[in-house]
Amino acid sequence: MRVAVFGAGYVGLVTGACFADLGHEVVVRDVDERKIDALRRGEVPIHEPGLDEVIARAGDRLRFTTEVEEAIADAEVVYIAVGTPSTYSGDADLSAVWTVVDELPRIERRIVLAMKSTVPVGTGRVIRDRLDARGLRNVGYVSNPEFTAEGTAVRDFMQPDRIVVGAFDPLDADAIAELHARIDAPFLRCDVASAEMIKLAANAALVTRISFINEIANVCEATGADVQVVAEGIGLDRRIGPAFLRAGIGFGGSCFPKDSLALKQLAANSGYHFQLLNAVIEVNELQKRRVVGKLERMLGSLRGATIALLGLAFKPGTDDMREAPSLVLAGRLLAEGAHVRAWDPVADGSRYLEGVEIAPTALAALEGADAAVVVTEWPEIAELDWGEVAKRMARPVVVDGRNLLDPAAMRAAGFEYEGIGRAAE
Ligand SMILES: NC(=O)c1ccc[n+]([C@@H]2O[C@H](COP(=O)([O-])OP(=O)(O)OC[C@H]3O[C@@H](n4cnc5c(N)ncnc54)[C@H](O)[C@@H]3O)[C@@H](O)[C@H]2O)c1
C-alpha cells in the first residue's frame, strides 16, 4: 500500500521504516529540514537499535520529504506521528496535530487519516468534525495508537502484543488491517474514543506498577527486606507477572510522564479527580529526589563534592533524554553545590545539561569523584572494572539507582554501596 507518515521522530521514523520493510511504499514528511536532509543522505538522526538496517533495506520504498503534497500525492493511508508534548497546564499540546489536519489538501479519492500520536480521548471526534466541516468526508479517520518502547521499537513494531484500531467506519479499520497483514498479532477493533483511552490507560497501568514497586522498595529499605527478592517473589504469581517490577529512581522519558499527566488532566477537565494516578506521579517525583538524600547520608554535605552520573538517557538503548531522571538529579545536585560530571554511551548530555561536565568515558567521569550514581542501566556500566574504579575515585561511594550492580561484589571491591530498596548488608 502507499503510506505517508507525518513526523520523522522516534515513532514516525520507526513506523515509516517498518511499513517499508513490510513491502509498502512510504513517504515520511517532517518540517525539520535538517532531519530530512540527513535522512536523504542515509544518516539516521536517532539512536534506535536495528533502525539503520531497516532503513537501509527499505531502499526506494522509503522516501523523505518536507513537502505535504509530495507525501500525500498517492497515499492511501496518512499517519500522524508528530509530537504531543505537555503544556504548562499538563494538557497535551496538540498544535502540531492540528497543523497536519489543517494542511491536508482537498483530495478526491478516499484516504484514511491514522493517528499514531498519543492524544487525549475525544481528539478523534473533534478531528472528524473538523474534516467534515471542510467537506473532507472522503478522508476516513482512525486511532491506531503506538505501543512501541524506545530501545526495542523495531522489534515491538514488527512483533507487537496487539494492534488497536478505533474507527468511525469499519472500512477504514479494514485498510489498517490490510496494512498490517504481514504482522502476526491480535487485531483489536473498537470505537475511536476507546482506542485513544487504551493508549493512555496502558501507560497509566505501567507507571502505576513502577511507582508501586518503588514504594515497596522504600518500605523494604525501612524494614530490612530486599526489593529484588520481593519483586521476584511476587512476579512469580501468575496473576501479577514479573514485568515492570524493577525498583529504581523512577520513570522518565518522552511518554510516561507526559501521558500520565495528560490522563490526570483529562480526568480533571471532565470533573473527575484521578486520585490513584495523582499518587503515582507524586511518588515518582519523590523517588528521583531520594538519591540526593542517600548521597547526603553517605557523604555529608554535597557542597563542593564531585558526583559522577552514569547514564543520562531515560533508559538504555536510546539517546532520548526527554524528562530523564538524570535531568532532575543533575539539577538537584547542582543546587546542593555539588560539581556534577556525567557520562552516557550515546545520549548527548551537552544539549540538555547546563553546568554539568560531560565526560568522554565512564572512567573519566569517575576519576577523583566522591560518589557515583547509576542513573541508567546501560550494560556498559555493569561491565566496568569496578575494582579499578574503586582505586580511581576519591571516595568509593556508589548509589545504584537502577539496582544494576551486585551489592556483595561491590562491597567486596571496597565500595560503600547503596541500591534502591536493597538490604543494607
Ligand atoms: N517516543 C516513543 O517511544 C513513543 C511511543 C508511543 C507513542 N508516542 C507518541 O508518538 C508521538 C510522537 O512521538 P515522538 O517521540 O516520535 O516525537 P518526536 O518529537 O521524536 O518527533 C516528532 C516529529 O514531528 C515533527 N513534526 C512537527 N510538526 C510536523 C508537521 N506539521 N508535519 C510533519 N512533521 C512534523 C517534528 O519535527 C519531529 O521530528 C507523540 O504523541 C508520542 O506521545 C511516542
Query: Would residue 243 count as lying in a domain?
Result: yes
pLDDT, mean over the chain: 96
Are 261 and 362 within one domain? yes
Work out which ligand 1 atom sits closest to the CA atom of 46.
Answer: 20
Query: Ligand 1 within 6 A of 30 CB?
Result: yes
- The catalytic residue positions are 255
Are 185 and 210 within one domain? no
Is 363:301 a contact under the CB 8 Å cutoff? no
**Residue 425 — very low, low, confident or very high, per pLDDT cuts 50/70/90?**
low
CA distances from 104 to 82, 125, 225, 282 (A): 14, 17, 58, 40
Mean pLDDT of 371-389: 97
Residue 90 has a pLDDT of 87
Would the CA dihedral through 106, 109, 110, 113 be positive or negative? negative
Are 169 and 218 within one domain? no
CA 376-381-386 angle, to 5 degrees, is: 135
User: Ligand 1: which residue has its CA nearest to atom 36?
Assistant: 7
Query: Ligand 1 within 6 A of 70 CB?
Result: no
- What's the 8 CA to ligand 1 centre distance in angstroms? 7
Q: What is the reported pTM?
A: 0.95
Query: Ligand 1 within 6 A of 96 CB?
Result: yes
Query: Would residue 197 count as lying in a domain?
Result: no
Determine the structural domain holding residue 27 and report its residue range. 2-189
Are 305 and 374 within one domain? yes
Query: Would residue 194 count as lying in a domain?
Result: no
Are 238 and 341 within one domain? yes
CATH code for the domain in which residue 98 is found: 3.40.50.720
Q: How many CB atoms lie within 10 A of CB 337?
A: 11
Is 359:365 a contact under the CB 8 Å cutoff? yes
Are 142 and 241 within one domain? no
**Residue 424 — very low, low, confident or very high, per pLDDT cuts 50/70/90?**
confident
Are 275 and 139 within one domain? no
Q: Is 51 helix (H, G, I), strand (E, B) or coil?
A: helix
- The torsion region of residue 224 among left (phi > 0), alpha (psi -120 to 50) and beta comes to left
Query: Would residue 195 count as lying in a domain?
Result: no
Q: For 254-292, how does the pLDDT look when each residue is reduced to its tens digit (9 = 90+)?
A: 999 999 999 999 999 999 999 999 999 999 999 999 999
- What's the 86 CA to ligand 1 centre distance in angstroms? 13
Closest CA to 174 of 101, 114, 214, 132: 114
Q: For 118-151, how does the pLDDT look when each residue is reduced to its tens digit (9 = 90+)?
A: 999 999 999 999 999 999 999 999 999 999 999 9
Are 389 and 282 within one domain? yes
Top mutation candidate among 35, 64, 82 for ligand 1, by most atoms within 8 Å of CB: 82
Q: How do strand 139-143 and strand 163-167 relate by DSSP bridges?
A: antiparallel
- What's the 412 CA to ligand 1 centre distance in angstroms? 46
Top mutation candidate among 14, 51, 72, 146 for ligand 1, by most atoms within 8 Å of CB: 146
Query: Would residue 424 count as lying in a domain?
Result: no
Mean pLDDT of 297-304: 96
Are 231 and 152 within one domain? no
What's the DSSP call for residue 371?
A: E
Are 212 and 185 within one domain? no
**Helix boundaries (H) for 227-274:** 227-235, 256-269
**Residue 156 — very low, low, confident or very high, per pLDDT cuts 50/70/90?**
very high
- What's the 254 CA to ligand 1 centre distance in angstroms? 10
Mean pLDDT of 45-66: 96
**Residue 351 — very low, low, confident or very high, per pLDDT cuts 50/70/90?**
confident
Query: Ligand 1 within 6 A of 7 CB?
Result: yes
Q: Which residues pair with 64 in a beta bridge?
A: 28
Work out which ligand 1 atom sits closest to the CA atom of 11.
Answer: 16
Are 214 and 185 within one domain? no
What's the DSSP call for residue 345?
A: S
Count of domains for the chain: 2
Helices 123-133 and 192-223: angle between axes, nearest 10 degrees: 160
Mean pLDDT of 377-386: 97
Q: For 174-228, how does the pLDDT look when each residue is reduced to its tens digit (9 = 90+)?
A: 999 999 999 999 999 999 999 999 999 999 999 999 999 999 999 999 999 999 9
Answer with the one of 125, 158, 189 that is the final residue of a domain: 189
Provide DSSP, 269-332. HTT---HHHHHHHHHHHHHHHHHHHHHHHHHS--TT-EEEEE--SSSTT----TT-HHHHHHHH
Query: Would residue 200 count as lying in a domain?
Result: no
- Which single residue is written with the C-alpha cell 515518582? 284
Separation CA 94–CA 123 (nearest Å): 9
**Continuous segment of H or E residues that includes residue 80:** strand 77-80
Residue 242 neighbours by CB under 8 Å, 6+ apart: 231, 232, 235, 236
245-276 CB burial, b ≥16 within 10 A, e <16: bbbbbbbbbbbbbbbbbbbbbbbbeeeeebee
- Longest CA–CA span in the chain (Å) reads 72
Answer with the one of 161, 189, 217 that is the final residue of a domain: 189
Query: Would residue 221 count as lying in a domain?
Result: yes
Query: Would residue 423 count as lying in a domain?
Result: no
- What's the 10 CA to ligand 1 centre distance in angstroms? 7
Helices 256-269 and 192-223: angle between axes, nearest 10 degrees: 110
**Residue 172 — very low, low, confident or very high, per pLDDT cuts 50/70/90?**
very high
Answer with the one of 164, 189, 214 that is the final residue of a domain: 189
Are 155 and 35 within one domain? yes
